[in-house]
Structure 1
């Protein structure tokens, strides 16, 4: 069983169906494809050793986190403006997530109301938070999503000020946000970066403040350095998503596969550790878990499914990757996610 044919089929179908500008927006990264490719190759470079003849007792892929129990460790990563890709939008992805007994992170830049997405999912969902320029605006958004049924907040910090990389079609917008905070005027001799948009970017003090506002779990997404991971834990954060934003923000970073073991060594067991960026198969998921992750987020692959077949396509992608995870477990002789942590990977 291989995941590549299905995902390749969906990628090809999505590219054929979507306008060129939207396909480019989905697939683009900060390095014209370089970072995207290195993320994928880094997972493939870790090799598995088959372990036949081992008896599998009560084999399963059950994942438990923050009092929630899922059938598998595959979370749908936050992806903005999903109605760009199919009229089902985030609601379709959320319905598929529920059908496959998993969890989804709803983007701050969702194109459908968060309360409707969660209602249609028929389960609490996680909400991915972008800083809204100041604490008051951020708190208003948090209060809205918590009231709508969000069960965890995932604070993305590696894109300090998130802006659309394309002109959005009429009728598609970040419907859950209030009007954007106007940028500060730039005086002569000032920097558009340092004195402009970074003046609205969050800091560690804001992370500390955010932790105090929430009674639900708080995860920080976009950390790659062990010192940052340590600081997040020391501030009481419940989880870290090791991520380079799928290559979309800063080019020429280390891959997540390279940095994950260092983060696990520093804070593993003190908080939950999730990963994204370049996950393209059940084998990639297995390898991330073997390297110490508690769960894995998939992004572009499920959007390819959404663009091709709506909610049904998302469900098929989740199921396909889960099937390959189960096959990889069977062929390496492990029965559950805890056992995967004991598996040694080899570097090619």
Structure 2
């Protein structure tokens, strides 16, 4: 089944309100649509007669080695999609040998998520996604929980000084999780018995990132970089990786498609740290295009949720296996090599 098929199955099984939460974007959903549409503007020119044997597609990333250049990007509230939630996602990612980026707004606490992954593979790599909080004590508590869980990197989302405006959720009146579900990483934080809300931090600056670097020895990956100058500042500031992203079209609706911003960011980084990209990856060819434009790996978010909603852990595993198989097939057709001079515009 194609990823479109998994999407269709998930839509049939999900509560329509929850489907809209996962599928929707900000504003008029222009950035959301562009993320997928933009890949269609690129074509790959294959190299031929390369005599290439089977190629190892594993990739080294901050604090992790993944079996393929395809990671699970952070998304929230997996138990809206399936009762096992992030536990199923973690087990599937570990079985696929790739990195799970577990979200701060997960419905399973990071310690349990990491334990589930390591039940499948003791060496499974789990990263923790973090929103910088106005209260440094809250940020530090979340960091310590990630460290205690054995996470090998922190993914700091930097494109969300305020929450995006989601028309579908407003229309549906979806503002709170159903009874029995909660953002478990936000439970029993300093000064907040019970579960607190994520606080947005308009005042966040590079000073906050530097404070976070002093707070932990874990490598930091900044998620939400679209401007090459921000990428240069990140590299000069000791950041371990960059994830080019427009938040799946859920923040600034006027933002460019992530794949369109990738090459300028990769050029600015100039190979000094890994550059990843997420948003709109729906085929193995999309993975290949991203790598040819300078990415070390891609992240997938919604396709994982569709697999989870359709068939739990098995669905997530099949989505990841499908993308791996498609990517390896495209890589072979491209002569086992992917470079910028193989990517051309269809326009």
C-alpha separation in 2, matches of 1:143 and 1:347: 45
Deviation, structure 1 residue 198: 6.4
Tell me the equivalent position of 1:346. Answer: 344
Question: Helix, strand or coil for the counterpart of 2:100?
Answer: strand
C-alpha separation in 1, matches of 2:162 and 2:10: 28
Mark the CA change 1:199 to 1:146 in structure 2 (over 3 Å): closer, same or farther: closer
Tell me the equivalent position of 1:192. Answer: none
Deviation, structure 1 residue 51: 3.3
CA offset digits 1:3-40 (Å, max 9, x no partner): xx521111111111111110000011113332221111
Which is further off, 126-135 or 96-105? 126-135
Mark the CA change 1:343 to 1:97 in structure 2 (over 3 Å): closer, same or farther: farther
Deviation, structure 1 residue 294: 0.8
Structure 2's unaligned 5+ residue stretches are 119-123, 192-198
1:105 aligns with 2:101: yes
Does structure 2 conserve the Cα–Cα contact (< 8 Å) formed by 1:100 and 1:319? Answer: yes
Deviation, structure 1 residue 180: 8.1
CA offset digits 1:107-157 (Å, max 9, x no partner): 000101211110110124100001222211100110111111111000001
Question: Helix, strand or coil for the counterpart of 1:57?
Answer: coil
Alignment of 1:199-218 (within 5 A): 201-218=203-220
Mark the CA change 1:180 to 1:116 in structure 2 (over 3 Å): closer, same or farther: closer
Normalized against structure 1, the TM-score is what?
0.89
1:168 aligns with 2:169: no
C-alpha separation in 2, matches of 1:23 and 1:284: 24
Does structure 1 conserve the Cα–Cα contact (< 8 Å) formed by 2:88 and 2:312? Answer: yes
Among candidates 84, 89, 94, match of residue 88 of structure 1: 84
C-alpha separation in 1, matches of 2:255 and 2:48: 37
C-alpha separation in 2, matches of 1:200 and 1:224: 18
Tell me the equivalent position of 1:189. Answer: none
Normalized against structure 2, the TM-score is what?
0.89
Question: Helix, strand or coil for the counterpart of 1:155?
Answer: strand
Alignment of 1:228-243 (within 5 A): 228-243=230-245
Deviation, structure 1 residue 54: 2.8
Alignment of 1:33-44 (within 5 A): 33-44=29-40
Among candidates 214, 218, 221, match of residue 219 of structure 1: 221
Question: Helix, strand or coil for the counterpart of 2:275?
Answer: strand
Tell me the equivalent position of 1:45. Answer: 41
Structure 1's unaligned 5+ residue stretches are 183-196
Does structure 1 conserve the Cα–Cα contact (< 8 Å) formed by 2:276 and 2:298? Answer: yes
Deviation, structure 1 residue 267: 1.1
Does structure 1 conserve the Cα–Cα contact (< 8 Å) formed by 2:137 and 2:190? Answer: no
C-alpha separation in 1, matches of 2:63 and 2:130: 21
Q: How many residues are matched?
A: 326
Instruction: Show structure 1 runs of 4+ deviating over 6 A.
Output: 179-182
CA offset digits 1:215-235 (Å, max 9, x no partner): 111011101111111111121
C-alpha separation in 2, matches of 1:157 and 1:199: 10
Deviation, structure 1 residue 160: 2.1
Tell me the equivalent position of 1:245. Answer: 247
Does structure 1 conserve the Cα–Cα contact (< 8 Å) formed by 2:294 and 2:340? Answer: no
Query: What value does the CA root-mean-square deviation take over the aligned residues?
Result: 2.0
Tell me the equivalent position of 2:110. Answer: 114
Question: Helix, strand or coil for the counterpart of 2:281?
Answer: coil
Alignment of 1:263-302 (within 5 A): 263-302=265-304
